[in-house]
């Protein structure tokens, strides 16, 4: 091992040393979660090799891995004694910490395989996790935490991270003192620090959005995207790039390394479900990471990490990335509907799918 190579284990121990009186439970929990993601990384790379599990009807690779990765996360974390409870994206109720195990002072909310549908077409996927303190004192024999114990705003998080399963397996982590990125070195079987102190540029010329939903967007988002599409000829005075991976972790990592803006905004399809990104195990941990890297995260109207959770599987609109672009989006949402005029249809003078009139060939 080269001199000075810093593994995740060494990193978390050094972080603990900065806090006299620390028990070591938090750093141990982070390393346990990292171990779970190493096992998940191995399963993800196997893809279609994984068997059908005896199902009468063969399941897609993504559905099999959804179930398998969730089981891995539970199996690796619930026995450690660090957790009072877990909250899984895939389960209607929290998987219990066995009564035979000591309950710890932390809660873990996670999505074991975000963007799992990408597996079927061999695109990047990832895991997301959020660590909270249990609001109840922990004593031997106490009852398991209730769903209400997880209903804490994002500012109460003590740690958050995600693992990206791409050409390299990357783990990005914050404990409230900046953001650091680690790469899995398969030769030694450990995450090593490769991206210290990750920072998001305050300005950007790139954005990520699912353009197929354009007809459902609210006016401020339509205005913002159209201004970007108009490029040097529009009010922004510069050209923008657009990309959409449909993997929250992949788009987040791109923004952390190159800047940009991610938009999964409120839309009008279902008034009862205006947001699409889970708050507790999606938006909150990503927002924590983004803010610690100098970016910002909003619903369009409110800072994400101040949104009071009403239910464990609550979903919210989610816009995050380079700070100045997020502030611009918030400003557009705060303006009255009778604000600056613009062509309200992207299929007018400038379209996502058709060139502008002066670009058309005869």
Q: Which residues pair with 106 in a beta bridge?
A: 83, 133
Q: Which tokens go with 277?
A: 């990104």
Q: Which tokens go with 38?
A: 């190493």
Q: Are 106 and 84 in contact (CB under 8 A)?
A: yes
Can you spell out the DSSP letters for 156-172? Answer: G-SEEEEEEESSSEEEE
Q: Which tokens go with 80?
A: 């450690």
Annotated binding site: 114-117, 210, 262-264
Q: What angle do CA 109, 112, 113 make, to 5 degrees?
A: 140
Can you spell out the DSSP letters for 71-127? Answer: HHHHHHHTTSSSEEEEEETT-SSPPPPPTTSPP-SEEEEEEEEETGGGGGGT--EEE
Cβ count within 10 A of residue 148: 12
Cα separations in angstroms, 263 against 33, 124, 312 = 28, 18, 22
| Cα–Cα dist 94/49, whole Å | 30
| Cα–Cα dist 164/183, whole Å | 10
DSSP, res 273: -
Cβ count within 10 A of residue 304: 27
**Residue (of 332, 139, 303, 126) closest to 227 by Cα position:** 332
Contacts 24+ apart (CB under 8 A), 186-192: 188/1, 188/7, 189/38, 190/7, 190/8, 190/9, 191/7, 191/8, 191/34, 191/38, 192/5, 192/6, 192/7, 192/8
Q: What's the full length of the chain, in residues?
A: 362
Annotated binding site for substrate: 114-117, 210, 262-264
Residue 130 makes CB contacts below 8 A (sequence gap 6+) with 108, 109, 110, 154, 157, 159, 160, 280, 281, 284, 285, 288
């Amino acid at each position: 091992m080269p001199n000075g190579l810093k593994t995740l284990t060494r990193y978390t121990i050094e972080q603990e040393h900065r806090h006299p009186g620390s028990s070591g439970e938090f750093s141990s929990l982070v390393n346990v979660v990292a171990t779970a993601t190493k096992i998940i990384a191995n399963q993800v790379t196997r893809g279609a090799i994984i068997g059908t599990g005896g199902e009468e009807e063969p399941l897609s690779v993504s559905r099999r891995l959804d179930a398998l990765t969730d089981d891995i996360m539970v199996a690796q974390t619930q026995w450690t004694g660090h957790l009072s409870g877990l909250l899984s994206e895939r389960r209607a109720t929290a998987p219990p910490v066995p009564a035979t195990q000591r309950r710890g002072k932390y809660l873990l909310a996670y999505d074991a395989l975000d963007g799992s549908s990408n597996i079927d077409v061999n695109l990047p996927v990832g895991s997301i996790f959020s660590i909270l303190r249990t609001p109840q004192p922990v004593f031997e024999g106490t009852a398991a935490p209730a769903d209400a114990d997880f209903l804490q705003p994002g500012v109460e998080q003590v740690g958050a991270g995600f693992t990206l399963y791409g050409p390299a397996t990357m783990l990005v982590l914050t404990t409230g003192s900046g953001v650091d990125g680690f790469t899995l070195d398969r030769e030694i079987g450990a995450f090593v620090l490769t991206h210290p102190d990750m920072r998001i540029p305050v300005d950007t010329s790139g954005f990520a959005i699912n353009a197929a939903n354009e007809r459902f967007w609210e006016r401020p988002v339509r205005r913002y995207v159209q201004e970007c599409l108009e490029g040097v000829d529009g009010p922004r005075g510069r050209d923008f790039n657009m990309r959409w991976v449909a993997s929250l972790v992949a788009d987040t990592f791109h923004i952390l390394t190159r800047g940009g803006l991610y938009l999964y905004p409120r839309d009008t399809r279902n008034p009862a479900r205006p947001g699409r990104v889970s708050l507790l195990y999606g938006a909150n941990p990503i927002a924590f990471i983004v803010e610690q890297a100098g970016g910002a995260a909003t619903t369009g109207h409110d800072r994400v990490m101040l949104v009071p959770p009403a239910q464990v599987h609550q979903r919210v609109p989610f816009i995050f990335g380079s700070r100045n672009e997020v502030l611009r989006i918030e400003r557009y949402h705060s303006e009255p509907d009778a604000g600056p005029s613009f062509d309200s249809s992207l299929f007018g003078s400038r379209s996502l799918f058709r060139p502008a009139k002066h670009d058309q060939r005869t």
